[in-house]
């Protein structure tokens, strides 16, 4: 059951066409400033480029042999992503701030922008990554063969000449595609939005395809997970796959640990992971979601790995089919050809995704960190003149991509058949893990030095070659295997896979242990015994303290003389005319000068140009180029310290300024509030003064008018004169009462009133007040009664003031009750809280609206006639008095039912000091 | 023909003073004790001049002024106020009071102003 | 706030590391069934899912 070659090729190219369209669209939108990848979901999906053909085909293969042991490769990233917010965020911040282009650039930049370190890291990457690319080619080629080839597997074994091998042409086609894809940009920047969009799309395709085949196999070919696992558990051979301990080697837990660690480091430092996760990151807040979405993606894509492996073993029988290709052979065996084609496309997307990002990332490294530094050694490319280099840069990258794929093909051709997919991948992982001490150490340890890194990398890489790379080549039959079995020159202690006699570990764990051990030991020891150069020290500060820096106050470690023209010229050569112009225009805007001509050629400008160039050609090359274009003064450690001191002073200033402006803001806010309060107090005072004026002028009006008339009219009858004089006297009394009360209220409110406190008997006070007013009640023919408790515990208060309150309440009541039938009841009640006194009348009552205002100053309610003698201050004064003794005063009334004024005095009252109203 | 003057004030003693004063000057005097009453009396039988207190219960002098000004454009109105704030003066003028007297007032000056306004209105009706 | 999140993440990292290491891993490496499924792989996936959920809660809750 196979598919026609033409169909598979056509569909594959159609798929690549779709990818290209997405990338093209993504780039176009990016240029318009409307990024389509500015989403945490796209970011998370792009990180899933971690899942390559290894995951897609190889995991099933590994699971069919070693069961759950395919998992550590995914548990490592799971654990790494828990720390994404802590570690990767710092990497992203550093990379964005200094326009880091690759993992080699990252490490080299940290250690003084050393071209040597950049080159070494690149070299290790290229050597380490080639098998990984070979793995992808092998997977696609094998999948293609299975899908199209004769079902008789022996035929594929016929040796082909290299020019007859379709894999070569596939590799070349891929290289062409990637060149179109990744190096079309006119702008030389480190970011590739279109590529990220396409990679995110590929991640969806491979996940859906894998889940599709998983569901088809589990539920279509078998009766679900229970069925598959049930059969596996009843088969002693397969039972082993479901257990951790399958009795293979004695150091199982070390291996498990090593694999998790390996995967954890790889997910950070594989060139393609660094590319999508750090360099292509749009917004570091996207990490928040990606940190758990990416592990979730890994979780989903691994769900059906074991079921498919078991299904393959059951269906074909052990050893009868290539387990790496179960995902294709199972649907094919069932006749589901189109599903198989879809699964193949899924595998193609897994492989191409990896190859695309990896080769773009590595070609950038080769160009920036290997070729450029070499070219810069020649006089032609340095200095202040010379032509446009962007074309050259692009050509280097394109050649590097072709070269990488050809190397991948070569490895596949030479060594590919000897290993399973996963084993090839692990070799690459172990190489990349060598970067961890230099990179992580550099991010957190200021004492790490470039010499330490060189020593660590050389030792680690050397041990990796000896313990892993050479054996893999030897086992492929291209080298004599003597040294494997007996050690070089018969020195068994140096046997690559049992170094110093360490046996019992599998080759990967063995190599990882020795290489990382040697790497870290050399890195730390040499770092401790060497002094960092000034440039290293300054870069160390910038990296380790990256979160401490905020706009404008970061130190600029550069000194010397520069000319703007030289820098413009240099930028144009490396970035192209337009991008260079934009760079200087932005700088002019940021420092607030009108035009490019007005930019001062200071350290900040040099720094900006160098950082921008670093985005195009890497920090090490940018350093060399800038150094050749300006007159630099060498940086000494003292200079670094001085610049740092200045920057931290600047930071302290700006911090102080910020604090000051914050506290000023706060003060302004407080002043505003105070002003508001004063204004409203002022308004209250105005209202009060206006009311007082009104109340004083009203009696004065009568007095003046009447006296003037008496003066002007000497013939006024005596009776009339007498009447007027009576009015004048009444109004004069009203005036003096008013003046007295205004003064009284003012004193109480200002806290200047005198209080003569003693133990008073409230009952006696009420009696006294009633006695003094009773004659006026009799005049009006009204009844005045007292009821309630008569034996009260004494209260601490001013007796005269309380009499004043009672008289006020009683005279108010007297005013409102009807003549002849008036009735006022005074009630005294004592409880645990204190004493409550109420004065109830049978007057017209007070409406709810008026009740609210009854205690306001000059607010007299009811008929004007009834309170002509009132001043409108009696109740406010009474309430002030009661509140002074910690009590409260209120009114209850229903219109037509009379009114009850009451107050309550607490037993243990705390005198309230007068407060301004 | 004797001119008719409406005194609108809620202070009884002020009403007594004004009533005596205006009668002495030979005017016919009507009295209203609050704004609502004043409004009612003006509508029922328009006087020649109103001495209108600004602060009255039920309806303030300003409210009365606002209500009658459109329907009785020729009616002379003197506002009386004890507050004497500039804002009150402006408010009275804006609402169309002919004059404004601050309490306590000089009786002679008040009589003077009343006469002046009434002469004016006489002149207007003659022309 | 930021410091709080970082500390919790580091704690979760070590918890995850311990859960996937000896001896905690050995506790349930047995020939047992859970709803007809083998205990060990199911347990690994369950632990994994649990870590993802806790991580998602830590990352998505509140702003840094």
**How is A706-739 classified by DSSP, letter by letter?**
HHHHHHH-TT--HHHHHHHHHHHHHHHHHHHHHH
Rounded to the nearest angstrom, the minimum Cα separation between A684 and chain C is 46
Residue A463 CA: distances (Å) to CA of A199, A487, A574, A688: 34, 14, 38, 94
Residues of A in contact with C10 (CB under 8 A): 83, 86
Q: What pLDDT score was predicted for residue A525?
A: 94
Q: Is pLDDT of A186 > 60?
A: no
Mean pLDDT of A833-837: 85
Measured CA to CA, the distance from residue C34 to residue C42 in angstroms comes to: 8
> Do residue A697 and residue B103 have CB atoms under 8 angstroms apart?
yes
**Mean pLDDT, range B78-89, rounded to an integer:** 76
pLDDT for A79: 94
- Confidence category of residue A144, pLDDT binned at 50, 70, 90: confident
Banded pLDDT at A553 (limits 50, 70, 90): low
Q: For residue A701, list chain B residues with Cβ-Cβ distance below 8 A.
A: 11, 14, 17, 82, 103-105
> In angstroms, how far is the first alpha carbon of chain C from the final one?
6
Candidate from C25, C49, C59 with C-beta closest to A291:
C59
Mean pLDDT over residues A78-95, rounded? 91
State the CATH number of the domain containing residue B23. 3.40.50.2300
Taking an 8 Å cut-off on Cβ atoms, the answer to whether A245 and C29 are in contact is yes
The pLDDT value given to residue A80: 94
Rounded Cα–Cα distance for residues B44 and B63 (Å): 18
Higher pLDDT, A242 or A431: A431
State pLDDT tens for residues A98-139: 888 889 989 998 998 888 999 999 999 998 888 888 888 888
- Partner-chain contact A86 C9, CB within 8 Å: yes
What is the DSSP code string of A415-468?
Answer: HGGGS-HHHHHHHHHHHHTTHHHHHHHHHH-TT--HHHHHHHHHHHHHHHIIII
Chain C hits for A236, Cβ within 8 Å: none
How close C23 gets to chain A, by Cα (Å)? 9
Dihedral pair phi/psi, residue B30, rounded to 5°: -115, 155
Beta bridge partners of A760: A795
pLDDT bucket at A206, cuts 50 / 70 / 90? very high
- Put simply, whether B107 touches A (Cβ < 8 Å) is yes
With contacts defined as CB-CB under 8 Å, which chain A residues touch C59? 85, 288-289, 291-292
Structure tokens at A616: 């195009």
CA separation for the pair A326, A64 (Å, rounded)? 10
**H or E segment at A751?**
none
Please report residues of A whose CB lies closer than 8 A to that of C40.
Answer: 68, 242-244
B105 to A704: CB separation less than 8 angstroms, yes or no: yes
- Region A60-89: mean pLDDT is 90
| Better-scored residue on pLDDT, A108 or B87 | A108
A60/A48 Cα distance (integer angstroms): 18
Q: How many CB atoms lie within 10 A of CB A630?
A: 21
Give the closest-approach CA distance of A706 to chain B in angstroms.
Answer: 6
In the DSSP assignment, the letter for residue A912 is P
d(CA A739, CA A677): 28
Considering CB atoms only, which of A701, A708, A730 is closest to B14? Answer: A701
Q: For residue A677, is pLDDT > 60?
A: yes
pLDDT at position A343 is 92
Least CB–CB distance from B13: residue in A693, A702, A713:
A702
Which has the closest alpha carbon to A144: A18, A10, A5, A14?
A5
A862 → chain B, closest CA residue: B57
* Band of pLDDT at residue A296, cut at 50, 70 and 90: very high
Name beta bridge partners: A757.
Answer: A798
**Would you place residue A213 in the very low, low, confident or very high pLDDT band (cuts 50, 70, 90)?**
very high
The ipTM is 0.94
H or E element that contains A829 = strand A823-830
User: Is the pLDDT confidence value at A152 over 50?
Assistant: no
Interface check for B122 against chain A (CB to CB < 8 A): the answer is no
* Interface probe with A: pick from B38, B103, B109, B110, most Cβ of A within 10 Å: B103
- Residue A160 pLDDT more than 70? no
* CA–CA dist A274, A281 (Å, integer): 10
Q: Which chain B residue lies closest to A861 (C-alpha atoms)? A: B57
Contacts for A876-882 with beta carbons within 8 Å, 24 or more apart? A876/A745, A877/A741, A877/A744, A877/A745, A877/A748, A877/A804, A877/A808, A878/A804, A878/A805, A878/A808, A878/A809, A878/A903, A879/A855, A880/A745, A880/A748, A880/A749, A880/A914, A881/A748, A881/A798, A881/A801, A881/A802, A881/A804, A881/A805, A882/A805
Contact A864 B18 (CB under 8 A): no
- Do A572 and A390 form a contact (C-beta atoms < 8 A)? no
B22 touching A (Cβ < 8 Å): no
Kindly tell me whether chain C and chain B come into contact, counting contact as 3+ Cβ pairs under 8 Å: no
Quote the CA–CA distance of A770 and A768 in Å, as a whole number: 5
CB–CB of A165/A343 below 8 Å?
no
Indicate whether A187 pLDDT > 60. no
- Confidence grade of residue A200 (pLDDT, cut at 50, 70, 90): very high
- Mention every residue, 6+ apart, whose C-beta is less than 8 A from residue A401: A175, A178, A179, A182, A183, A359, A360, A363
Q: Is the pLDDT of residue A153 over 50?
A: no
| Residue-wise pLDDT tens digits, A399-455 | 999 999 999 888 888 776 666 566 777 888 889 999 999 999 989 988 889 899 999
pLDDT tens per residue, range A753-801: 788 888 888 888 888 888 888 888 888 888 888 888 778 778 888 888 8
pLDDT at site A405: 92
The values of phi and psi at residue B6, to 5°, are -100, 125
Dihedral sign of CA atoms A225, A226, A231, A235 in order: positive
Chain C residues with CB inside 8 Å of A232's CB?
A: 38
Q: What is the pLDDT of residues A271-280, one digit of tens each?
A: 999 999 999 8
Sign of CA dihedral A378, A382, A383, A387: positive
Report the candidate in B114, B124, B92 with the shortest Cα–Cα distance to residue B23.
Answer: B114
pLDDT digits (tens, 9 = 90+) for B29-60: 999 988 888 988 998 888 999 999 888 877 88
CA distance A24 to A14: 15
Residue A475, number of CB atoms within 10 A of its CB: 16
Per-residue pLDDT tens digits for A311-323 = 998 888 877 788 8
pLDDT in tens, C1-59: 445 788 888 999 999 988 888 777 777 777 777 777 888 888 889 999 999 999 999 98
Q: Give the DSSP per-residue string, A487-510.
A: -GGG-GGG-GGGGGG--SS-HHHH
pLDDT at B57: 77
Return the minimum-mean-pLDDT range out of A21-35, A382-396, A647-661, B61-75: A382-396
pLDDT per residue as tens digits for the range B91-126: 777 788 888 888 888 989 999 999 988 887 665 554
CB A405 within 8 A of CB A132: no
Give the model's confidence band at A663: pLDDT under 50 very low, under 70 low, under 90 confident, else very high: confident
- With a pLDDT cut of 70, the percent of chain B lying above it is 91
Q: Which residues of A touch C (CB under 8 A)?
A: 67-68, 71-72, 75, 78-79, 81-83, 85-86, 225-226, 229-230, 232-233, 239, 242-245, 253, 256-257, 260, 285, 288-289, 291-292, 295-296, 299, 303, 306
Report the gap between the CA of B26 and the closest CA in chain A (Å): 14
Percent of chain B past pLDDT 90, that is, above it, reads: 25
Give the H or E element holding residue C37.
Answer: strand C37-38
**C31 vs A contacts (CB less than 8 Å):** 233, 239, 243
Q: What is the span of the domain harbouring residue B70? A: 4-126
Token pair listed for B89: 């003066």
Query: Is the separation of the CB atoms in A91 and A286 below 8 Å?
Result: no
Are the Cβ atoms of B104 and A693 closer than 8 angstroms? no
- End-to-end distance of chain A based on CA atoms, in angstroms? 98
pLDDT at A248 over 60: no
Packed helices A337-365 and A5-31: angle between N→C axes, nearest 10 degrees: 50
Nearest to A562 by CA among A599, A537, A615: A599
Q: Is B106 on the interface with A (CB under 8 A)?
A: yes
How is residue A278 annotated by DSSP?
A: I
Give the model's pLDDT for residue A173: 86
In the block, tokens 């940021």 appear at: A590
Average pLDDT, chain A: 83
Count of pairs with CB atoms under 8 A, one residue in A, one in C: 93
Q: Is B82 on the interface with A (CB under 8 A)?
A: yes
The residue-averaged pLDDT of A719-743 equals: 88
Residue A663 contacts by C-beta under 8 Å, 6 or more apart in sequence? none
Closest CB from C17, C36, C44 relative to A79 = C17
Model confidence pLDDT, tens digit, residues A567-601: 888 888 878 788 888 888 888 888 888 787 778 87
> For residue A247, what pLDDT band results from cuts at 50, 70 and 90?
low
CA distance C37 to A227: 9
More confident residue, A381 or A548: A548
Is B40 in the A-facing interface, judged by CB distances under 8 Å? no
């Amino acid at each position: 059951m196979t598919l026609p070659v033409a169909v598979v090729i056509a569909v594959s190219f159609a798929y690549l066409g779709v990818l290209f369209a997405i990338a093209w669209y993504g780039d176009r939108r990016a240029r318009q400033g409307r990024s389509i990848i500015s989403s945490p979901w796209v970011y998370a999906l792009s990180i899933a480029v971690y899942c390559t053909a290894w995951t897609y085909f190889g995991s099933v293969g590994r699971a069919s042999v070693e069961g759950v042991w395919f998992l550590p490769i995914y548990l490592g990233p799971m654990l790494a992503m828990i720390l994404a917010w802590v570690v990767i965020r710092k990497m992203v911040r550093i990379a964005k701030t200094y326009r880091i282009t690759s993992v080699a650039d990252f490490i080299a930049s940290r250690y003084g922008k050393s071209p040597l370190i950049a080159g070494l890291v690149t070299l290790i990457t290229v050597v380490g990554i080639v098998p990984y690319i070979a793995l992808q080619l092998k997977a696609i080629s094998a999948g293609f063969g299975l899908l199209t080839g004769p079902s008789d597997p022996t035929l594929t074994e016929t040796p082909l000449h290299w020019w007859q091998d379709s894999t070569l042409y596939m590799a070349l086609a891929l290289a062409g595609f990637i060149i179109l894809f990744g190096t079309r940009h006119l702008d030389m920047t480190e970011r590739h939005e279109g590529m990220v969009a396409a990679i995110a799309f590929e991640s969806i395709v491979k996940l859906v395809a894998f889940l599709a085949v998983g569901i088809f196999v589990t539920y279509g070919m078998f009766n679900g997970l229970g069925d598959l696992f049930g059969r596996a558990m009843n088969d002693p051979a397969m039972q082993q796959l479901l257990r951790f301990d399958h009795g293979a080697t004695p150091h199982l837990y070390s291996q498990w640990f090593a694999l998790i660690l390996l995967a954890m480091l790889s997910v950070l430092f594989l060139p393609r992971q660094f590319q999508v996760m750090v360099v292509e990151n749009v917004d570091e807040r996207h990490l928040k979601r990606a940190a758990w979405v990416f592990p979730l993606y890994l979780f989903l894509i691994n769900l059906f790995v074991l079921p498919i492996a078991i299904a393959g073993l059951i269906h074909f029988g052990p050893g009868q089919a290539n387990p790496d290709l179960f995902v294709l052979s199972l649907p094919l065996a069932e006749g589901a050809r189109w599903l198989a084609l879809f699964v193949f496309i899924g595998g193609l997307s897994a492989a191409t995704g990896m190859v695309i990002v990896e080769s773009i990332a590595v070609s950038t490294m080769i160009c920036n960190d290997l070729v450029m530094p070499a070219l810069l050694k020649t006089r032609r490319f340095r200095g202040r003149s010379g032509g446009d280099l962007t074309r050259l840069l692009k050509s280097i990258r394109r050649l590097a991509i072709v070269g990488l794929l050809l190397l991948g093909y070569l490895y596949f051709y030479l060594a590919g058949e000897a290993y399973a997919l996963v084993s090839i991948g692990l070799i690459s992982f172990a190489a990349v893990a060598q970067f961890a001490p230099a990179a992580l150490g550099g991010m957190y340890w200021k004492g790490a030095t470039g010499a330490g890194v060189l020593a660590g990398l050389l030792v680690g890489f050397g041990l990796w070659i000896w313990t892993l790379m050479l054996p893999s080549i030897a086992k492929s039959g291209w080298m004599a295997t003597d040294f494997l079995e007996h050690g070089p020159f018969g020195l068994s202690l140096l046997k690559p896979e049992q170094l110093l006699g360490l046996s019992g570990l599998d080759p990967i764990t063995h190599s990882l242990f020795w290489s990382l051990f040697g790497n870290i030991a050399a890195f730390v020891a040499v770092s401790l015994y060497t002094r960092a150069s000034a440039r290293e020290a300054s870069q160390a500060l910038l990296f380790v303290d990256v979160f401490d820096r905020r706009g404008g106050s970061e130190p600029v470690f550069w000194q010397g003389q520069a000319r703007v023209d030289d820098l413009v010229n240099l930028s144009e050569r490396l970035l192209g005319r337009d991008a260079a112009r934009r760079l200087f225009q932005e700088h002019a805007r940021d420092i607030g000068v009108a035009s490019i001509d007005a930019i001062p050629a200071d350290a900040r400008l040099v720094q900006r140009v160098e950082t921008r160039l670093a985005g195009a050609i890497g920090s090490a090359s940018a350093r060399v180029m800038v150094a050749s274009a300006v007159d630099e003064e060498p940086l000494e450690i003292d200079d670094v310290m001085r610049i740092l001191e200045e920057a931290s002073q600047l930071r302290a200033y700006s911090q102080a300024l910020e604090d000051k402006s914050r506290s000023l803001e706060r003060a302004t806010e407080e002043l505003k509030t105070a002003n508001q309060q004063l204004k409203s107090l002022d308004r209250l005072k105005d209202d009060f003064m206006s009311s007082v004026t009104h109340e004083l002028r009203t009696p004065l009006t009568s007095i003046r008018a009447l006296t003037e008339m008496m003066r002007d009219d000497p013939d006024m009858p005596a009776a009339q004169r007498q009447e007027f004089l009576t009015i004048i006297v009444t109004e004069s009394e009203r005036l003096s009462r008013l003046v007295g009360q205004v003064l009284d209220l003012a004193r109480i409110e200002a806290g200047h009133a005198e209080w003569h406190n003693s133990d008073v008997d409230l009952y006696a006070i009420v009696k006294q007040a009633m006695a003094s007013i009773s004659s006026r009640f009799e005049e009006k023919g009204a009844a005045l009664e007292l009821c309630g408790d008569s034996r009260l515990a004494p209260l601490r208060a001013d007796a005269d003031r309380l009499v004043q309150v009672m008289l006020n309440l009683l005279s108010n009541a007297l005013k409102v009750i009807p003549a002849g039938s008036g009735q006022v009841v005074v009630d005294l009640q004592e409880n645990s809280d204190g004493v409550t006194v109420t004065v109830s009348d049978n007057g017209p009552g007070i409406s709810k609206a008026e009740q609210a205002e009854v205690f306001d100053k000059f607010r007299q309610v009811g008929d004007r006639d009834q309170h002509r003698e009132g001043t409108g201050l009696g109740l406010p004064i009474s309430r002030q008095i009661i509140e002074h003794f910690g009590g409260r005063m209120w009114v209850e009334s229903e219109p037509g039912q009379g009114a009850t004024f009451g107050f309550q005095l607490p037993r243990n009252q705390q005198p309230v000091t007068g407060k301004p109203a | 023909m004797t001119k008719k003057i409406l005194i609108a004030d809620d202070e009884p003693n002020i009403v007594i003073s004004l009533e005596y004063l205006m009668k002495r000057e030979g005017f016919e005097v009507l009295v209203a004790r609050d704004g609502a009453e004043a409004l009612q009396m003006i509508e029922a039988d328009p006087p020649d001049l109103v001495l209108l207190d600004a602060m009255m219960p039920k309806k303030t002098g300003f409210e009365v002024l606002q209500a009658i000004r459109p329907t009785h454009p020729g009616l002379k109105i003197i506002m009386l106020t004890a507050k004497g704030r500039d804002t009150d003066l402006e408010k009275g003028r804006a609402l169309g009071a002919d004059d404004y007297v601050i309490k306590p007032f000089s009786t002679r000056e008040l009589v003077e102003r009343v006469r002046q306004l009434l002469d004016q209105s006489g002149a207007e009706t003659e022309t | 706030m930021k410091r709080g999140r970082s500390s919790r993440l580091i704690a979760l990292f070590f918890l995850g590391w311990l859960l996937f290491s000896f001896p905690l891993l050995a506790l349930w490496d047995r020939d047992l069934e859970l709803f007809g499924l083998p205990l060990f792989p199911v347990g690994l996936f369950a632990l994994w899912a649990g870590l993802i959920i806790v991580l998602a809660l830590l990352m998505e809750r509140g702003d840094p």
